[in-house]
């Protein structure tokens, strides 16, 4: 068995140092070492999007990203998405009842956040459907999810949400 190695990274704004075997994924470190269970373990092969997190502001599937790849980098999980108030995506998901069982929701939120920040403008439902095609939901027909993402993109544009993200370093 391989000896554990230290991984140093900034997770949700906090510096952490974690010992993990070199074959462990970022998902395993987040869930089983740091107890950040919002990141879901789904397919374990990068197909479902349930494990989506942001690595240096870019969307990644944490189930196929080795923890060692996050060494010295910034990781944002769904737990780090909100500050003193709900993130507009979270608020719109609630308003549109876009979360059914909730298993896919953290991954969709993280993917949508990274994508919206990379665009920096309001989006259409068609654009959102294409951008979120890698996030699978077994409970819905996606209509409410897409409506929530579209509305959140408008709120972020109105509130200057992208400028605030750039100031905090969370831009894709």
CATH code linked to domain 5-80: 3.10.20.30
- Three-class SS of the chain: CCCCEEEEEEECCEEEEEEECCCCEHHHHHHHHCCCCCCCCCCCCCCCCCCEEEECCEEEECCCCEHHHHCCCEEECHHHCCCCCCCHHHHHHHHCCCCCCCCCHHHHHHHHHHHHHHHCCCCCHHHHHHHCCCCCCCCCCCHHHHHHHHHHHHHHHHHCHHHHHHHHCCCC
* Spatial separation of the C-alpha atoms in residues 161 and 104, rounded to whole Å: 24
The stretch 43-54 carries a mean pLDDT of: 97
Residue in the block written with tokens 């831009």: 171
pLDDT tens digits, 18-28: 999 999 999 99
Contact in structure between 135 and 62 (CB atoms under 8 Å): no
pLDDT tens digits, 123-143: 999 999 999 999 999 998 899
Contact in structure between 73 and 82 (CB atoms under 8 Å): no
Q: Is the pLDDT of residue 172 over 80?
A: no
* Spatial separation of the C-alpha atoms in residues 159 and 47, rounded to whole Å: 33
Over the chain, what is the mean pLDDT?
92
Q: Is the pLDDT of residue 1 over 70?
A: no
pLDDT grade, residue 88 (50/70/90)?
very high
Q: Is the pLDDT of residue 93 over 70?
A: yes
Q: Is domain 88-165 annotated with CATH 1.10.150.120?
A: yes
* Spatial separation of the C-alpha atoms in residues 140 and 76, rounded to whole Å: 26
Sequence spans of domains, the chain: 5-80, 88-165
pLDDT for position 104? 96
Q: Is the pLDDT of residue 51 over 80?
A: yes
Contacts of 156 (CB under 8 A, 6+ apart): 88, 116, 162
Contact in structure between 144 and 97 (CB atoms under 8 Å): yes
Q: Is the pLDDT of residue 54 over 80?
A: yes
């Amino acid at each position: 068995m391989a000896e554990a190695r230290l991984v140093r990274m900034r997770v949700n704004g906090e510096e952490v140092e974690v010992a993990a075997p070199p074959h462990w994924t970022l998902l395993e470190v987040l869930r089983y070492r740091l107890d950040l269970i919002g990141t879901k373990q789904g397919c374990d092969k990068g197909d479902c999007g349930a494990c989506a997190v942001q690595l240096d502001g870019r969307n990644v599937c944490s189930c196929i990203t080795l923890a060692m790849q996050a060494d010295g980098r910034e990781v944002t999980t769904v737990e780090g998405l909100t500050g003193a108030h709900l993130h507009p995506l979270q608020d719109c998901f609630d308003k549109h009842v876009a979360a059914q069982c909730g298993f896919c929701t953290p991954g969709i939120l993280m993917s949508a956040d990274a994508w919206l920040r990379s665009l920096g403008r309001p989006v259409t439902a068609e654009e959102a459907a294409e951008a979120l095609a890698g996030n699978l939901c077994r409970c819905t027909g996606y209509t409410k999810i897409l409506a929530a993402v579209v509305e959140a993109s408008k709120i972020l544009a109105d509130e200057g949400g992208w400028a605030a993200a750039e100031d905090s370093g969370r831009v894709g």
